[in-house]
Structure 1
Amino acid sequence: MAILHQLLGAVKDVPAWKLCVYVTLLFPLYAITMGIYNTFFHPLRNFPGPKRAALSNIWYSHAWLSGKYPHKMHALHEKYGSVVRVAPNQLSFSTSSSWKDIYTNHNNRPTFRKTGFYDADKLDPETNIVREPDPAKHSQIRNMFSQSFSPKSLLEQEPIVQGYVDLLIEQIGKYGTGKDGLEIVRWYNYCTFDIVGDLAFGEGFNAVKDGKPHFWISIILDSVYAATFIYVTKRFPWLAKLIPLLIPAHMVEHRIRHLNYGRDKIKRRINSDNKRKDFLTNVLDNHRDKISDEALSSNAQIFVIGGSETTATTLSALTYFLLRNPHTYQRLVSEITSSFTSYSQITSTAAGKLEYLGAVITETLRVYPPLPVGLPRTSPGETVDGYYIPKGVAVSTSSWAAVHDPKNFHEPWAFKPERWLDGECKEKDVREASQPFSLGPRACLGRNLAIIELRLIVCKMLYTYHLELLDSKLDWVRDSTAYLLWIKPGLRVRLYRR
C-alpha cells in the first residue's frame, strides 16, 4: 500500500499532457504484451482456435454482439474440432460427453461454478435461481420453487393454462382466416406470456384477449440485450466506468421499466388475498422468512422471461418446420385428429401419449434450441471430454454446434422427428448431444410446464385448423439473430377451420 501511495503521489506531480502521452504509449504496450502472453505462454496456448480469439477478447465480443454468435461457434467447431479456444481464457465444446462433464456433478467431481456472465448488475443486484453462483445457495432457492413446478402442482394449474390456450385458439381463428393470415409468432408470445405471467404473479396481462402486446413483452428483449451488452463490457475492466455511456439509452430505460414493473407486480401478489395456487404459493406459505421481496421479484421475472420467450420460440420454430415439411405435417395432423373425437378431450395427459407429437417437439428443440449459446462455467481444475482444463478457465458446451455436428446427428440440418422414434430411426444419432434444457442441478426448472404448453397448443391448434405458410422465401435459420435469446423473423400463416 505504501508503494501505491507513493506512485499516486508521483502521478499528481506529472503534467496532464505527459500523462496522456504515457497512457497513449502504455496501452498499446500492454495490449501487445498480453497478446504475446495469450498466444505463446497462456495455459490454453495448445488448444486449437483462431489466433484472433487467442490474442484478446475483442474477437469473442464482436461475435457475441453480431447476432450470429451460434453460427460463428458452429463454424469454429467445423474447422477446429470438438474443442475450440474462443477467447484468451475460454473453451467451447460440442460433444455429448462435455454436457455431462461440465454441467453435472457425477463421480463426486468438483463443481464447475457459474462465471461472471451471470453476475448481478447495479439495476438488478439481487440473486436469483439463474444468477446465484454458490451451489448450496442455489439449491436452497431451487428447493423453494421446485414444488410449484412438480407434475402434481402443474396438473392443478392446468385449468389456467387451458383457459389461455382456448382463448388463443379462438382469437387466431378471428384474425388469421383472411387472405393475409396473421403473424403467428406474436400470438405465441401473447399466449405464453399470459400463462407464465398469471402463474408467476397471480394475474395475466390480457395480451391474448386484447390481441396486442403488453408493453412488458415489447421491452423484454431489449432488457436481455442490455444485459448481454453489459456482459461483453465486463471482459474489458477499463470499460467498466464507461458502461452507462456505451449502452443505448432506450435499452437502459426499458430495462429499468421492466424491473420496476416486476417489483410492482410482486407487491400486488404478496398483498393479494387470492387463494389460487401459483408459482409463489409454496414460497409465501412456507419460506417467507428466507427470501426478500426483491429476491422474489428477481426470481419471478426470470420465470416470466425464461418461461414465455423460450416456449414461444419453440412454438414458432415448430410451426415453421412443420409447414416446410408436408409429410411431417400430415403425419402429425393425422395422429392428433385420429386420437380425439372432440376438442374437449385434449388435455396435457392425453396429449402426452401422442408419440409422434413428442418426437416433433423434441426434434424442434434439437434443430432450433431456444437457448442457442453455451452456458459458461468455470473449471475447478478438472477434465472435460478427456482434456485437462486448468482452474479458472471458462468452458461451455455450444448447444447449437453440438446439435448440428454430423458426428452427433446424421443430416443435422434436416428436420426429422423420426430420429427420436426407436422403431424408425435407421441411423444411430448421439441423442445426448441435444440438451435444450441443460443438465444437472441447474437444469431448467420450467421444463415440465414448457412441454405441457407445447403439447396443448400444438394439439388444439392442429385439431381445429389447417395452417398455410404465406412466405415461401422465408428461411427461419438464416433470418434469425441471437442475443442470448433468439430474435425471430416474422411467420405469417393463414388458417382454415377444419
Structure 2
Amino acid sequence: MEESSFLSHLVTVNATLAIPLGLVAYQISRYIYNIFFHPLRKFPGPITAAASPIPNIRHNLKGNLVNWVCDLHAQYGDVVRISPNELSFSGADAYRDIYGHKKAGQPTLNKDPRFYRNPGEESSGIVNASFEDHARMRRIFSHAFSDRALKMQEPLFLTYVDKLVRKIRDNSTANPQQKYNMVKLYNFTTFDIMSDLTFGEPLNMLDDGSYHPWIAAILAGFRLGVYLHSIRYFPLLESLMFRYCIPESILKNHQLHNEFSRARVDRRLEKKEARPDIWGLVLQRDDASGLSRKEMYGNTNIFMIAGTETTATLLSGLTFHLLHNPDKLRLLTQEIREAFETEKDITIEKLQSLKYLHACLEEGLRMYPPVPNALPRITTVSTNIDGKNVPAGTSVGVTNLAAYRNPDNFKNPNQFVPERWLGDSPLYAQDKKHGFQPFSTGPRACLGKNMAYHEMRLILTKLLFNFDLVLCEESQQWIDQKIFIIWDKTPLYCQLTPITA
C-alpha cells in the first residue's frame, strides 16, 4: 500500500514538473530557431532581439524604443533586425520600396495589423482601412482637404490664431515676466481649430486656458497603443492580456475619446447649415453616402489626433530648435517682418512664398518628426527593399528618426540647418531629400499634408511677427524626451515680449 502510494505520488510530481519543463524546452527551441534557422537570420542586429521580442517590448514600454532603434542603426547599418520577424530600415531608398506606388505586377505591402488594428470591434478609419476602403474614403474626403477648401477655411484658421496672439499680448502687457508653456498653447490652438473644422464647434481651450477632458483623454490614450503593440507579440494571449495587463485608467480614456467623437459627429450631422468645415464639404458630395456612420466615427477619431497633436508637436520642437539657434531665429524673424507691412497682410497664400520659413519647417520636421517611429508593413512575397531581399511575411518599416539622423542621408544630421533645404548650399547638395518623408509617401500618404503646412506657417508667422521669444532656463534640456508613439513632451517655457510697430 505504501509502495503504491509512493509510486502514485512520484507520477504526480513528474507530471507536474513535465508541464513547466516542456514550456521551457519549447521556448529554448524557439530561441534556437529564431537565431540560427529563421528566414531573417542573416540580417544584422543584437542576438537578444533576434531570439525574442522581449527587448523590443521592454524598450517600448519604457519609452525609448525609437532611440534604441536609432542606436542599433548607428551600430549595424541601414537595416537592423529589431525582433525575430521585424526589420527596421534607415536608408533613403527604403521609403520608396516599402511605402511607394507600385507598378503593375509589383507586390504591395500590407499594413501590419499588429500596429494598426483597432481593439475589439471598433470600425476602421482611413488610416487602418483596407486598400479598397482606403481608396473609397480618400475619394470622399479629398475635396475637404483640397487647396480650394483650405482657402475657404482660412477665416476659421485666422480666428483661433489671432485669438492666440491676442491672449499672449494681453497677458504679456499685464505681466511682462510671465512664462508661457508653448506646448500647451500650441495644443490649445490646434485642437480648437480642428474641433471647429470637424464639428462646427470649438473646444474653447484658448478661452478657458485648460485642457478639455476629451483632449486629456486623447493625449493619455497614446499609451494604449504602446500596450497594444506590445501584447500583440503574443497573439494567443492577446484578449487575456488586453483585459488584465492594461491599466484601467488608459482603457477609460480610450472609451471617453470614442464617446466624445461619436457625440460630436451626431451633433454635426444634425446641423443643416452650410459650412466649409470637413463634414460640410464631405456631405455635399454625391458619394458621401458611401460612408457608414461607424466609419464617420472612426475617421473623426483620426482627424482629432492626426490634425492636431502632430502640428502642435512640430511647432513645439521647431520653437525649441530656433531658440537654441539664435542666428536661424534671427533670419526667420527678419524674413517674416520684412515680408508683411501689417499683420492683416499675412495670408495663407502669401506665406507659401517665404523660402526660409519653409526651410525651417522642413528642418524642424527632420530634427523633431511628429511621427518618429516606423509605420510597419508586411511583405506579401519576397521583396527587394533598399537592395536587400526580404522574405515574405516580414514586418518592415523605415524608422523616421533613424533615417533623418542617418549621415548617409543628411550631412551633419544632428545639427539644425534650415539652409540645407534652400537648394543653394554646396555643402548640402548631396543630401538625399527623398529620405525625408514626414507625411509618408505613396498611396497611403497623409491626406492632410497641405492643411498641416498652412496651419504651421500661419501660427509660427503670427507669433514671430508679434513677439520676441526667449527660452526659459528650465527648458534648456527640453529635447530630452521619451517616446510613447508620440513624443512625451514636458512643458516648453518661453517668455514672449510684444514688439512695437
**Same fold at TM > 0.5:** yes
Tell me what 1:384 maps to. 385
In the TM superposition, residue 178 of structure 1 has moved relative to its aligned partner by: 3.1
Letter in 2 for 1:497: P
Query: Which residue, 31, 36, 42 being the options, matches 1:40?
Result: 36
1:185 partnered with 2:183: yes
Tell me what 1:3 maps to. none
In the TM superposition, residue 18 of structure 1 has moved relative to its aligned partner by: 7.7
Letter in 1 for 2:62: S
Give, in whole Å, the separation in 2 of the partners of 1:318 and 1:495. 16
Does the aligned pair in 2 maintain the 1:102–1:377 contact within 8 Å?
A: yes
Query: Which residue, 53, 65, 72 being the options, matches 2:49?
Result: 53
Tell me what 1:453 maps to. 455
Tell me what 1:71 maps to. 67
Give, in whole Å, the separation in 2 of the partners of 1:81 and 1:227. 28
In the TM superposition, residue 360 of structure 1 has moved relative to its aligned partner by: 0.4
1:372 partnered with 2:368: no
Does the aligned pair in 2 maintain the 1:144–1:282 contact within 8 Å?
A: no
Tell me what 1:197 maps to. 195
Give, in whole Å, the separation in 2 of the partners of 1:290 and 1:121. 24
SS of 2:370 mapped into structure 1: coil
Tell me what 1:476 maps to. 478
Give, in whole Å, the separation in 2 of the partners of 1:20 and 1:173. 73
Does the aligned pair in 1 maintain the 2:475–2:493 contact within 8 Å?
A: no
Deviations 1:155-195 (A, max 9, x none): 11111011111001111223355313111110100000111
Name stretches of at least 5 consecutive residues in structure 2 with no aligned partner: 1-10
Does the aligned pair in 2 maintain the 1:113–1:378 contact within 8 Å?
A: yes
1:166 partnered with 2:166: no
Give, in whole Å, the separation in 1 of the partners of 2:177 and 2:478. 22
Deviations 1:426-461 (A, max 9, x none): 232111111111100111111111101111111111
For residues 1-400 of structure 1, the aligned pairs below 5 Å read 21-108=17-104, 109-116=106-113, 117-122=115-120, 125-132=122-129, 134-176=130-172, 178-240=176-238, 241-285=240-284, 286-380=286-380, 381-400=382-401
Inter-CA distance 42–348: structure 2 relative to 1 (3 Å threshold)? same
The worse-fitting range, judged by mean Cα deviation, of 40-49 and 101-110 is: 101-110
SS of 1:106 mapped into structure 2: coil
Give, in whole Å, the separation in 1 of the partners of 2:191 and 2:365. 19
Letter in 2 for 1:426: L
For residues 399-418 of structure 1, the aligned pairs below 5 Å read 399-418=400-419
Does the aligned pair in 2 maintain the 1:223–1:251 contact within 8 Å?
A: yes
SS of 1:477 mapped into structure 2: coil
Give, in whole Å, the separation in 1 of the partners of 2:356 and 2:16. 67
SS of 2:469 mapped into structure 1: strand
In the TM superposition, residue 199 of structure 1 has moved relative to its aligned partner by: 1.1
Does the aligned pair in 2 maintain the 1:93–1:398 contact within 8 Å?
A: yes
Give, in whole Å, the separation in 2 of the partners of 1:253 and 1:287. 35
1:419 partnered with 2:416: no
Letter in 2 for 1:459: T
Does the aligned pair in 2 maintain the 1:317–1:476 contact within 8 Å?
A: no
RMSD over aligned Cα atoms: 1.6
Give, in whole Å, the separation in 2 of the partners of 1:139 and 1:17. 60
Does the aligned pair in 2 maintain the 1:147–1:282 contact within 8 Å?
A: yes
Give, in whole Å, the separation in 2 of the partners of 1:473 and 1:271. 45
In the TM superposition, residue 473 of structure 1 has moved relative to its aligned partner by: 5.8
Does the aligned pair in 1 maintain the 2:97–2:386 contact within 8 Å?
A: yes
Deviations 1:394-432 (A, max 9, x none): 000110000101111111111000010112352321111
Inter-CA distance 20–307: structure 2 relative to 1 (3 Å threshold)? farther
Deviations 1:272-304 (A, max 9, x none): 123112112243333343222121011011011
Inter-CA distance 207–18: structure 2 relative to 1 (3 Å threshold)? farther
Does the aligned pair in 2 maintain the 1:471–1:491 contact within 8 Å?
A: no
Does the aligned pair in 2 maintain the 1:366–1:403 contact within 8 Å?
A: yes
In the TM superposition, residue 329 of structure 1 has moved relative to its aligned partner by: 0.6
How many residues of Structure 1 are paired with residues of Structure 2 in the alignment?
481
Inter-CA distance 213–16: structure 2 relative to 1 (3 Å threshold)? farther
Query: Which residue, 431, 443, 451 being the options, matches 1:441?
Result: 443
Letter in 2 for 1:32: I
Inter-CA distance 264–473: structure 2 relative to 1 (3 Å threshold)? closer
Percent of aligned pairs sharing the same letter: 37
Does the aligned pair in 2 maintain the 1:175–1:181 contact within 8 Å?
A: no
TM-score, L = length of structure 1? 0.94
Give, in whole Å, the separation in 1 of the partners of 2:292 and 2:338. 50
In the TM superposition, residue 19 of structure 1 has moved relative to its aligned partner by: 7.2
Tell me what 2:493 maps to. 492
Give, in whole Å, the separation in 1 of the partners of 2:153 and 2:19. 61
The worse-fitting range, judged by mean Cα deviation, of 266-275 and 106-115 is: 106-115
In the TM superposition, residue 205 of structure 1 has moved relative to its aligned partner by: 0.5
In the TM superposition, residue 490 of structure 1 has moved relative to its aligned partner by: 1.4
Q: Which runs of 4+ in 1 moved over 6 A?
A: 15-19
Give, in whole Å, the separation in 2 of the partners of 1:445 and 1:338. 32
Inter-CA distance 223–471: structure 2 relative to 1 (3 Å threshold)? same
Give, in whole Å, the separation in 2 of the partners of 1:16 and 1:125. 46
Name stretches of at least 5 consecutive residues in structure 1 with no aligned partner: 1-14
